[in-house]
Chains A and B, each alone.
Chain A
Amino acid sequence: MITAERKPMEEILEYVRPCQRILLVGCNECVTVCAAGGRKEVGLLSSALQMAAMKEGRTLEVKEITLERQCDPEYVEELASQVGDAEAIVSMACGCGVQELARRYKSMRVYPAVNTKFMGASERQGVWAERCQGCGDCLLGITGGVCPIARCSKQLMNGPCGGSTKGKCEISQDVDCAWQLIWDRLKALGVEDRYEENIPAKDWRTGRGGGPRKIIREDLAQ
């Protein structure tokens, strides 16, 4: 999923301070799963913003809506009838959702209420960790299902640096050494030899190196 964290209250308040009516829009997908911008968080932020406004001697009217998917024009269209006299839209979706709202509602100010973090997985209740950087040319088939680009602090593709200690990365005891994880997996699978294949310099054009990316599926595109 795409993970996110709510922005500091003060930053969101700064955005909405000039407004009396806002539309606060959540998303039912990733940000719901990582408890950053789903229906529940929309409700909480709405109350917090109204309370903060009251403390400052203002009134703030917040209309709450949570869309099925904010990154999908079909669902974003549902807001057309809701925008009404709102002075701004505050989005609790990832950056994709925020941009989709800004694209569709051109005359509206659209503000993000969350910081989009990374593509990750849930490690346990309340903990999410980065797993993928979307390099566009997946290496997981040769690295035992552990990504060195997303999970090694130096994105080393040919083994651990000299700072790997007891399974941990040199930058923090809270970060696993990706290459220790890869090595453990290769051993468990009985394919240690695979480690010795030198992975050549990566072609970053499939990633951000090639500029903003697009997928066009001819069979689906109209």
Chain B
Amino acid sequence: MKTDSLLEKIFASGQLALTSECGPPRGAAPDKVREKAELLRGCVDGVNVTDNQTAMVRMSSLAACIILKQMGLNPILQMVTRDRNRLALQSDVIGAYSHGIDTMICLSGDHPHFGDHPMAANVHDLDSVQFVNMVKNMRDDGKFQGGADIDTPPKMFIGAAANPFADPFELRVSRLAKKAKAGADFIQTQCIYNVDKFEKWMEGVRDRGLDKEIYIMAGITPMKSAGMAKYMKNKVPGMDVPDEMVKRMSGVPKEKQAEEGIKICLETMERLKGVKGVAGFHLMAIEWEHRVKEIVERAGLLPRPQF
């Protein structure tokens, strides 16, 4: 084992790992974090805490992770290179690990263009691949990026993201290979609606043996309504929602659309369980944390393994 991460233990045991998400509030409201996170207790093995997602200012990911940790939950620190240079990233990694946070996700982050501070400067001192590599070297070599020794290196289990649906499709397997080479231990993918395309990507992943090098968690987001399906299809960059899915959601009365969304989500998970190389699920129930338990239960993934 490289780390003490619960996620690593579950992957190593060969059982499907399960993570979900908690977006921190836009204010100094720790109770809101607790409220959301409490809904996920016992349902998942780790909770991603997002870092100024969609480029909107929120409670810092690290602070919210500490709240989760104090609740006895298992937070996963998301960090983006958009807002911090390598000095700030490394100090936060050490800080997080000092609070017992041992699992993280290295991302580049949404462009400020999408948020409420489009006038902000982009940092991007590092990209996500370089960020992964920096955290790996901190852990394995005990070195800061600048070369100096770290007194008590942080042993982070390192995650990254992959979007099999973005263009150009033909280099998406190579992009994963670069993240694996940089030192990522696991991957959470973009939300999967086009399962055929995901399977094609996984085929490429297996052909190169990458599924043996890196644990791949399939990204799942249940649709709450036909409106959400249309929005995801048309407005979210890099999202691939097939027409038939929008049609299926639109085909049921409004009050039954949420249930239909969950049904689709469960069917997708069932099919993905059969895809070789899928090591778990990342359930992004956006502002729908109270439905996670039900989804996980109906997917036959409860109780969660204990270590």
On A, residues with C-beta under 8 Å from B are: 153-167, 170-172, 177, 179-180, 183, 192, 195-196, 198-202, 204
Task: Please tell me which one of the listed residues A163, A195, A199 contacts residue B171 in the complex, with CB atoms under 8 A apart.
Answer: A195
Residues of A within 8 A of B86 (CB): 201
Residues of A within 8 A of B130 (CB): 157-158, 198-201
Total count of chain B residues near the partner, CB < 8 A: 35
Known: A158-B128, A198-B178, A201-B134. 10 other contacts (CB 8 A): A153-B111, A156-B124, A157-B127, A157-B129, A158-B182, A159-B129, A162-B163, A162-B165, A180-B168, A195-B174
Task: Please tell me which one of the listed residues A164, A171, A198 contacts residue B182 in the complex, with CB atoms under 8 A apart.
Answer: A198
Complex CA gap A155/B82 in Å reads 10
On B, residues with C-beta under 8 Å from A are: 82, 86, 108-109, 111, 113-114, 122, 124-130, 133-134, 145, 161-163, 165-168, 171, 174-175, 177-178, 181-182, 190, 237-238
Can you spell out 28 A-B residue pairs with CB atoms less than 8 angstroms apart?
A: A153-B111, A154-B82, A154-B109, A154-B111, A154-B122, A154-B124, A155-B127, A156-B108, A156-B124, A156-B127, A156-B128, A157-B127, A158-B130, A159-B175, A161-B163, A161-B238, A162-B165, A162-B166, A163-B237, A164-B168, A171-B113, A180-B168, A192-B171, A198-B130, A200-B130, A201-B125, A201-B126, A202-B125
Assuming the contacts A198-B181, A200-B133, asked whether A154 and B237 have C-beta atoms less than 8 A apart, the reply is no
Residues of A within 8 A of B165 (CB): 162
Residues of B within 8 A of A195 (CB): 171, 174
- Nearest CB in chain B to that of A177: its residue: B167
- Asked whether B133 lies within 8 Å of A198 as measured between CB atoms, the reply is yes
Residues of B within 8 A of A177 (CB): 167
Residues of A within 8 A of B175 (CB): 158-160
Task: Please tell me which one of the listed residues B129, B171, B237 contacts residue A170 in the complex, with CB atoms under 8 A apart.
Answer: B237
Assuming the contacts A161-B108, A196-B174, asked whether A154 and B238 have C-beta atoms less than 8 A apart, the reply is no
- Nearest CB in chain A to that of B190: its residue: A162
- Nearest CB in chain A to that of B109: its residue: A154
Residues of B within 8 A of A199 (CB): 129-130
Residues of A within 8 A of B190 (CB): 162
- Asked whether A159 lies within 8 Å of B178 as measured between CB atoms, the reply is yes
Residues of B within 8 A of A157 (CB): 127, 129-130
- Asked whether A158 lies within 8 Å of B111 as measured between CB atoms, the reply is no
Central interface residue in B114, B167, B174, by most chain A CB within 10 Å: B167
Complex CA gap A27/B243 in Å reads 56
